Each structure stands twice: as structure tokens, then as C-alpha cells.
Structure 1
Amino acid sequence: MIKLEIVKGDITEEEVDAIVNAANENLIHGGGLALAIVKKGGQIIQEESNKIGYCPPGKAVITSGGNLKAKFVIHAVGPIWKGGKYSEDEILYSAVRSSLLLAHEKNLKSISIPAISTGIFGFPKERASSIILKAIKDFINEFDGKTTIENIRVCLYDEETYNIFLKAL
């Protein structure tokens, strides 16, 4: 049985196999959560990202976790919010699903996911919470008993976002 948890905290401190980074498509980790991850995990994360070079919106790539407690960082490229008329919902869903599929392919047991696209990318938190949780629940329904993943955590930095996700659950 895959366990889903909503937690409030700093994702860079999560003790899981992989944390998900809300990345941009060029994998330049210069702001927001991405910058915090590189600051704490070390330049190796950026260097490995540079070797990958590019990740299209809705997809995810993986690097080592550097000095983080997590062994890996899965860099998911969510959408930039443009009013909802440019497939933002589908891209966000796909970014979460791609992250989970990558964790599954790598035989990981635990993953922690942030509120992708709700920071600098401006995606409305209420809308994002429903989409992110739907992508996770769909994955659980499809893969429960067929994956090494045992624990999926949604790690939210602030009280407001945490409460929005709890309500959406």
C-alpha cells in the first residue's frame, strides 16, 4: 500500500530517496526552490543539470542529491501560469506524473513533492493542489502493488499552502 502524506516543512531537509525540484526547462537553478536546493545540496546538482541541458515542460529528469539527505533530485518542469488557457493544468499533471514514473523506474521507495509551479511560476495554489493530488492518486491507483514506491510526501513550505493541500485532500 502506497502511503500519501501532506507535510509542512523544508523539502531540502526531507529524508527520502528523492525530492522533487520545481525546475525551469533550461535546468538553471537560479531562484526559488531550485536555488535553495543547489545552495544546500551543492554545485554538483547544477553541474549534473548542465550536462542534461534541457527538460521540456511536463517532464522530469534526475540528478544526484549532492549533500542533501535525499539521494536524488528529480527536476520537474511545471508550467508558467498564463491564465489557464495554455494547457497549464495538463502540463502540471504531467510534471508530477513524470516525477513519479522516474522514481518508479529508479526503484525508489520514497519521494517528496513540493507545490510545483505555485511560486515564481504563479500557478494558483488551490487549482494546483487539486491537480497535483489527482496526479498522485492516479499514480497510486495504477501502480499500487506494482512499484517499489512506498511513501509519497507532499512537502509544503508555508502554513497557507499546507492548509490548501489538506483541504484538497
Structure 2
Amino acid sequence: MIEIEIIQGDITKLNVDAIVNAANCSLLGGGGVDGAIHRAAGPELLKACIPLNGCETGKAKITPGFRLPAKFVIHTPGPIYRDGLHGEPALLESCYKNCLDLAEANGCETVAFPAISTGVYGYPWEAATEIAVKMVQNYPAQKVKKVIFCCFSTQMEEIYTRIIATSH
């Protein structure tokens, strides 16, 4: 079973094998965590993303971390939340699964996730956290030993802590 750690902090500063970028479908940078990761990794990240020709919602693609402490960046566009009735839960679940699959395929033992889709994409925090925690807890990991949920606020950290405490 994957060890889970919850922290509040800056995902771009974490010394892990891979950090997950809550990207947009273009993979060419944006706001929020996506912009922060692109700024911290340097212009090489954008150059590495251009030939990937974007990424569909729920899928994932991997690049080197360049100037980040992380060896890799796994980019995944999360769903834009409408009302939860347009496939959003399955797409969000797919983001976490595909990121973990890429981490496994690239020999990553430590992976840090932001709260995918909970920023400008408007996914309700509780629902998104439940999906994230369930996917990681049920993932049949071979290589991934530890997942860090890197929260952008104390409130988000409290939600993760509570959901993990009640999910065992």
C-alpha cells in the first residue's frame, strides 16, 4: 500500500521523483499551479511540452523536471466542473490513475499531487479530495511507495486530513 503524506506548501520545491501538474489541455502553461511549475522549471519545460501536442482531459503525459528538484513533471488536465453529471468524477479519477501509471512506468517511488481541478476548474474540494484519496489508496502500486498531497491552503489540508482519517 502507498504511504500518504499531506502537507501545505509549494509543490515546486518538493524533492520527489515526480510532481503532478494540474495542466490545461494545451500543456503550454497557464495560471495557478501550472504557471508556478512552468516558471520554476524554466523555459525548457515549455520546449519539452510543445512536441507533446497537448493532452486530453483525464489523460497524462510526462516530461523531465528541468530546474525543479523533481526528476519528472507529470502533466494532467483535470475536468472543468459543471455539476458532477457530465463525467467529471470519472475524468478526475482517470487523472490520478494515469499519473500513477506514468510514475510506475518511469520508476518513480515518490509522487506529489496538487488538488487537481479544485482551482479555476471549480471542482468542489470535498468531492475532489475523496476521489484523489480513494484512487491512491486503491492503486496497485509496484514502484510508487509514497504519495504527497501538496495543499495550497490550511483549509484544503484539513479536508485531506479528515478524509484520509475516515477512509481506512
TM range (shorter): over 0.9
Secondary structure of 2:29 counterpart: coil
Equivalent residue number for residue 40 of structure 2: 40
Gaps of 5+ in 1: none
Q: Could you report, residue by residue, the CA deviation over 1:55-102 in whole angstroms, capped at 9, with x for unpaired residues?
A: 111110001101000011000111001111110000000001100010
Moved over 4 A (4+): none
Gaps of 5+ in 2: none
The alpha carbon displacement at 1:166 in A equals 0.8
For 1:88 and 1:2, the matched residues in 2 are separated by 25
Equivalent residue number for residue 125 of structure 1: 125
Secondary structure of 1:40 counterpart: helix
Letter in 1 for 2:156: T
Equivalent residue number for residue 151 of structure 1: 146
Equivalent residue number for residue 134 of structure 1: 134
> TM-score, normalising length from structure 1?
0.94
Task: Give aligned-pair identity as a percent.
Answer: 38
2:87 equivalent to 1:92: no
The alpha carbon displacement at 1:2 in A equals 2.7
Equivalent residue number for residue 62 of structure 1: 62
Equivalent residue number for residue 113 of structure 1: 113
The alpha carbon displacement at 1:28 in A equals 2.2
For 1:67 and 1:54, the matched residues in 2 are separated by 21
For 2:105 and 2:136, the matched residues in 1 are separated by 16
For 2:138 and 2:76, the matched residues in 1 are separated by 18
Identify which of 159, 164, 167 aligns with 1:164. Answer: 159
Equivalent residue number for residue 49 of structure 1: 49
For 1:155 and 1:50, the matched residues in 2 are separated by 26
- Number of residue-to-residue matches in the alignment: 164
For 1:127 and 1:50, the matched residues in 2 are separated by 32
For 1:11 and 1:4, the matched residues in 2 are separated by 15
For 1:168 and 1:59, the matched residues in 2 are separated by 25
For 1:49 and 1:122, the matched residues in 2 are separated by 25
Equivalent residue number for residue 10 of structure 2: 10
Q: Could you report, residue by residue, the CA deviation over 1:94-143 in whole angstroms, capped at 9, with x for unpaired residues?
A: 0011000100011111100110000011101011000011111111xx23
